A and B are shown apart, each in its own frame.
Chain A
């Protein structure tokens, strides 16, 4: 094979990656939202760019980060958000509310369909009904809710989120907000000066204006989903305000905070369709913020780039490529394809690492802070070990397993991330970078190793049963790999569990409480101990080791997700229930693979012709 082909493949992959770096050019005669997207606001305790708010909101509402209009056109999240914030009547006609439940669809008299994306305008007549049913569902325990109740509960939450988004920059019905706030501030100043001069009776109309305005801003402040008013230079994250709150504190037109006037200008220009004026207002505001809070705008600009790149999506695609190339190398052109696959795996790992470290920079935390990030990290750790294995053994197995585990864990992460902001703030008990960096990271690395060992064992079983490729040497190599990775998993799971005990002793007053999450970690440690001691005692040979490593997959999955689904215990910061069928399916597949590994030698394509000694080493028949 031509020696340049591996590099050619790498170049193509690189070009594809690089294409996401280029900022999308605004369409002619449309708004330039590049600056708008990077403007920071405070939501959920965290300062983030509007682009993130837009993507996460759409993700919650319709399960995707982009919007597809009824006519089939695609709309960027930030463009959708601009409409929601500034031009609500238009936004109300976008199909953003995903409804999949038949009963809910029936409630609105809509035809039965797999899924429908409703618009706010369509739902408006039923708001009261949805609110009533949703409240009933909210009072029902999560586990007791019927599918209809869950669906209506989610729809109600979506509607609340949407309504709050519309109130975020100014009251939804504002028409000329710049003029409105200037009139208001002038009235405040006028009334104040009248009272200061000793005249007890300010103008009646102005008093009436103030009265309605204050009520209006108060309600905007309460409804607002985000805090858009940045504090002056030197302010802290806790000093961000909602527009309404900031306006209530105003005493003259000059004292209106720059954030309020800037958003008002953007809003008015946007509604009027003035592309130039909108871009200018956004740019001027971004510049003001850059000067006052370079740290915040720096991060939020970085986050915007990170969002655009979607490094985990890219990694997902490239991992599959690496996996397929490595598998191909066992059939045709072993050397060239293996090298191509390995180089591609390295490139993908770099992208994956970039994504993970970017998240660490944005959050200022160690890599694992919630279930989503644990999935990212499990994949990362497994691929790292797989790369080391590939360097040592150079047989394509490490690359194939790394690609597969990397892909699957990123798919899991993708699904875990569908509930909104994955960089959310931490619960009080977890707020300790030291323990997050030690206990959580180490125990998650243990999961990585368990899954990699399990994957290697799956390769052994599938290669052995279905193909004649599992030669004596390959079988031995795989055995050494699995044994080594299990040792690694034992070390990490054990140390991680003990560190967890010490943390629990420091914060709850007991080293061990038999809480489900703790038991889950202990199960992995016990299983690893069982594998190693059974192997040392000669109770299991190659096939036994493989079967137990595959069992490790099921146990690790149980420890990672299963215990969270039980709904008991103190570790109640990562609960989830939708994934239950997937977990059961995964465990059943592992069971099937273990049964496969128990087939007699005559049913193994690779062992049909093997000699007695090789069969004994593999674990068939009585021990030698």
Chain B
């Protein structure tokens, strides 16, 4: 019993709070500076959305944890807060404000953890006049195998890009062929094969026969993305005799066509798609600047939202600070095509998003209470404020 009490004592101690705050401070500071060399997304993954920051002597060597990551510090702080709340909670007016602020903090930390784990962010690119019922996630790739001119429309089978990294052979019951992963590149650079360069072609068939491929280090800059590529060998199930290899790559806009048993398929490595039960079409994109300057004043997209299941068709204007919220998705004006012919909308699905707002409301109440309470005390010329 005493051991448990001691443990509870440590878990709920102010010393642990101070330790967590100090660790969080160091983590955020180092994590901010490290962004200069490694870019925002890599650091976010390695420092803030991880349990430990790991380090190794050589690039591929064994990684040892050297500092707690964002998730660990957040989780310990969360446990510390809850334990302190339980142990020291007392119903007095004097402490109500502080209690509410910390309760709000608990909700915020929990919500933040949920957002990190469950929220999905993707993009929808629309040209004027174009209609789409899916958004794309450029951080996640997928291999789409589409049967062309099938009896009941195009049949698509998708394989997550991460699966390609594992190598081996891909099979699916709907496909009469196997795909053997002959090469995989998380980030790559494609070049046309020329006589001078003398580089080898990436694959025996398709566009890859004229393209050479080079493996590249992971992209680190904020606006850069990895260009994933893979080389696939096609083996029909019937006789198992190789039809040759094909190159698929995020850098290739056109799909690669193959023919097996007189039926035709296209292969494409593309940004993962999230299909919606409704569609958006872009009517007009406008980009205003201040008179006599190039400084942007406003971007806005006029879209038509069509939802057959809810019998809904309406026009919506999406612009800076005014997103469209529909069916759990939120659409933000994010960017535009260089020639102003189309728009880029960011699509966010965040089930934990409401927690933040609840947390803010609770904390605002706590802060207001604390402020008013101390103000009235001060006005009554009570003794000086002491720490809670």
The contact of A526 among B21, B290, B348, B387, by CB within 8 Å, is: B21
Q: Which residues of A contact B388 (CB under 8 A)?
A: 536
Decide: B330 and A509 in contact? CB cutoff 8 A: yes
Asked if A505 is an interface residue, CB under 8 A from chain B, the answer is yes
Q: Distance (Å) between the CB of A388 and the closest chain B CB?
A: 12
Q: Which residues of A contact B367 (CB under 8 A)?
A: 491, 495
- Which residues B273-301 have CB closer than 8 A to chain A? 289-293, 295-299
The contact of B363 among A431, A498, A511, A530, by CB within 8 Å, is: A498
Q: Which of A128-136, A330-338, A563-571 contacts B (4 or more CB under 8 A)?
A: A563-571
Asked if B100 is an interface residue, CB under 8 A from chain A, the answer is no
Decide: A566 and B14 in contact? CB cutoff 8 A: no
Asked if A527 is an interface residue, CB under 8 A from chain B, the answer is yes
Decide: B18 and A533 in contact? CB cutoff 8 A: yes
Decide: B292 and A431 in contact? CB cutoff 8 A: no
Bound CA span A223–B206, Å: 52
Bound CA span A514–B70, Å: 11
Decide: A530 and B18 in contact? CB cutoff 8 A: yes
Q: A536-B14, A536-B388 are in contact. Are A566 and B35 (CB under 8 A)?
A: yes
Decide: A510 and B35 in contact? CB cutoff 8 A: no
- Which residues B349-381 have CB closer than 8 A to chain A? 350, 353, 356-357, 360, 363, 367, 371
Asked if A296 is an interface residue, CB under 8 A from chain B, the answer is no
- Which residues B293-334 have CB closer than 8 A to chain A? 293, 295-299, 320-321, 323, 330, 332, 334
Q: Distance (Å) between the CB of A569 and the closest chain B CB?
A: 6
Q: A519-B28, A567-B36, A568-B40 are in contact. Are A533 and B332 (CB under 8 A)?
A: no
Bound CA span A519–B291, Å: 35
Chain A 112-144 interface 0/1 with B at a Cβ cutoff of 8 Å (1 = within) = 000000000000000000000000000000000
The contact of A425 among B18, B39, B40, B290, by CB within 8 Å, is: B290
Asked if A592 is an interface residue, CB under 8 A from chain B, the answer is no
Asked if A523 is an interface residue, CB under 8 A from chain B, the answer is yes
Bound CA span A227–B31, Å: 46
Q: A523-B25, A533-B21, A537-B14 are in contact. Are A514 and B321 (CB under 8 A)?
A: no
Number of A-B pairs, beta carbon distance below 8 Å: 148
Decide: A501 and B356 in contact? CB cutoff 8 A: yes
Asked if A598 is an interface residue, CB under 8 A from chain B, the answer is no
Chain A 478-509 interface 0/1 with B at a Cβ cutoff of 8 Å (1 = within) = 00100000000001000100100111011111
Q: Which residue of A lies closest to B355 (CB)?
A: A511
Decide: A431 and B36 in contact? CB cutoff 8 A: no
Bound CA span A228–B32, Å: 46
Decide: B292 and A45 in contact? CB cutoff 8 A: yes
Q: Distance (Å) between the CB of A174 and the closest chain B CB?
A: 22
Decide: A42 and B292 in contact? CB cutoff 8 A: yes
Asked if B22 is an interface residue, CB under 8 A from chain A, the answer is yes
The contact of B348 among A510, A520, A563, A567, by CB within 8 Å, is: A510
Q: Which residues of B contact A570 (CB under 8 A)?
A: 222
Q: Which residue of B lies closest to A425 (CB)?
A: B290
Asked if A200 is an interface residue, CB under 8 A from chain B, the answer is no
Q: Distance (Å) between the CB of A389 and the closest chain B CB?
A: 14
Decide: B33 and A45 in contact? CB cutoff 8 A: no
Chain B 327-347 interface 0/1 with A at a Cβ cutoff of 8 Å (1 = within) = 000101010000000000011
Q: Which residues of A contact B131 (CB under 8 A)?
A: none
Bound CA span A108–B106, Å: 66
Q: A227-B292, A508-B346, A533-B17 are in contact. Are A428 and B332 (CB under 8 A)?
A: no
Decide: B321 and A569 in contact? CB cutoff 8 A: no
Q: Which residues of B contact A508 (CB under 8 A)?
A: 332, 334, 346
Asked if B238 is an interface residue, CB under 8 A from chain A, the answer is no
Q: Distance (Å) between the CB of B77 and the closest chain A CB?
A: 10
Q: Distance (Å) between the CB of B102 and the closest chain A CB?
A: 11
Asked if B124 is an interface residue, CB under 8 A from chain A, the answer is no
Q: Which residues of B contact A428 (CB under 8 A)?
A: 296-299, 320
Asked if A529 is an interface residue, CB under 8 A from chain B, the answer is yes
Decide: A507 and B321 in contact? CB cutoff 8 A: yes
Q: Which residue of A lies closest to B363 (CB)?
A: A498
Bound CA span A192–B178, Å: 77
Q: Distance (Å) between the CB of B348 and the closest chain A CB?
A: 4
- Which residues B242-286 have CB closer than 8 A to chain A? none
Q: Which residues of A contact B346 (CB under 8 A)?
A: 508-509
Q: Which residues of B contact A498 (CB under 8 A)?
A: 360, 363
Q: Which residue of B lies closest to A509 (CB)?
A: B348
Q: Which residues of B contact A535 (CB under 8 A)?
A: 387
The contact of A514 among B43, B323, B387, by CB within 8 Å, is: B43
Bound CA span A44–B24, Å: 43
Asked if B115 is an interface residue, CB under 8 A from chain A, the answer is yes
Q: Distance (Å) between the CB of A113 and the closest chain B CB?
A: 36
The contact of B28 among A502, A505, A522, by CB within 8 Å, is: A522
Asked if B384 is an interface residue, CB under 8 A from chain A, the answer is yes
Q: Distance (Å) between the CB of B385 and the closest chain A CB?
A: 8
Q: Which residues of A contact B40 (CB under 8 A)?
A: 513-515, 568-569
Asked if A427 is an interface residue, CB under 8 A from chain B, the answer is yes
Decide: A43 and B292 in contact? CB cutoff 8 A: yes
Decide: B356 and A505 in contact? CB cutoff 8 A: yes
Asked if A313 is an interface residue, CB under 8 A from chain B, the answer is no
Bound CA span A238–B293, Å: 11
Q: Which residue of A lies closest to B36 (CB)?
A: A566
18 additional A-B residue pairs with CB within 8 Å, beyond A508-B332, A523-B32: A45-B291, A45-B293, A46-B290, A227-B291, A238-B291, A239-B291, A428-B297, A428-B299, A498-B360, A514-B48, A516-B32, A519-B31, A532-B387, A533-B14, A535-B387, A536-B387, A537-B17, A563-B32
Top 5 A-B pairs ranked by shortest CB distance? A45-B290, A509-B348, A537-B14, A536-B387, A238-B291
A residues near B (Cβ < 8 Å) are 42-46, 226-227, 237-240, 424-425, 427-429, 431-432, 435, 480, 491, 495, 498, 501-503, 505-516, 519-520, 522-523, 526-527, 529-530, 532-537, 539, 563, 566-570
22 contacts between A and B (CB under 8 A): A44-B295, A425-B297, A428-B299, A432-B321, A435-B321, A491-B371, A505-B353, A508-B334, A509-B121, A509-B348, A510-B350, A511-B115, A512-B115, A513-B44, A519-B31, A522-B28, A526-B21, A530-B25, A537-B15, A566-B32, A568-B36, A569-B40
